[in-house]
Amino acid sequence: MKRLILEQSSDKFYTSHSGLALAGVCINRYSDLGRHVGKVAKGSDHIAEIDILRSYLGLLCLGKSDYQAIAAMREVDYFKEALDIGRMPSVERLRQRLDEAGTELIPVINRSSRTMLKRLKAPITGYRSGLIPLDVDVFPPG
């Protein structure tokens, strides 16, 4: 994965999508998602399942949940580089592959999310409103 440098500037305008670099690091370095989803052999014309997931997760990070939004991102090199996407799916391919995977990916994504939060040592606390009770085990076994 290519390392991207994030910096703040008072005189230059940077993309509003700069958070994708952080999302890419979380997905690719701190989660174990790439180890749990299918990959394709070198020279294959198929798009790896991890590239499908990275593409859709990138859209979600931008607040776009519709498959059609991937069409605009196919031409954005930064989107591909920040998330370390090997091959960008088309709208149709993204929809088809996520529909095929269905609910089978949910346990994999949940497990990878827990792994990422543990590796990042993210502090997780409860809210007074009771949304997350303070006495609940945030990382149950499994």
Q: Is 84 exposed, middle or buried (0-12, 13-18, 19+ CB in 10 A)?
A: middle
Host domain of residue 30: 19-120
Tell me what pLDDT residue 101 has: 86
Tell me what pLDDT residue 72 has: 94
In a domain, 132, yes or no: no
Question: What's the gap between Cα 92 and its chain centre?
Answer: 19
pTM: 0.75
Tell me what pLDDT residue 123 has: 83
Tell me what pLDDT residue 67 has: 95
In a domain, 58, yes or no: yes
**Tally of structural domains, the chain:** 1
* Cβ proximity of 57 and 83 under 8 Å: yes
Tell me what pLDDT residue 42 has: 61
In a domain, 101, yes or no: yes
What's the one-letter identity of residue 107? P
In a domain, 56, yes or no: yes
Tell me what pLDDT residue 135 has: 53
Tell me what pLDDT residue 25 has: 87
In a domain, 69, yes or no: yes
In a domain, 55, yes or no: yes
Task: Give the residues of the chain that fall short of pLDDT 50.
Answer: none
For the chain, the C-alpha Rg in angstroms (whole number) is 17
In a domain, 88, yes or no: yes
Tell me what pLDDT residue 125 has: 72
Any idea which residue has 């990382």 for tokens?
139
Tell me what pLDDT residue 105 has: 87
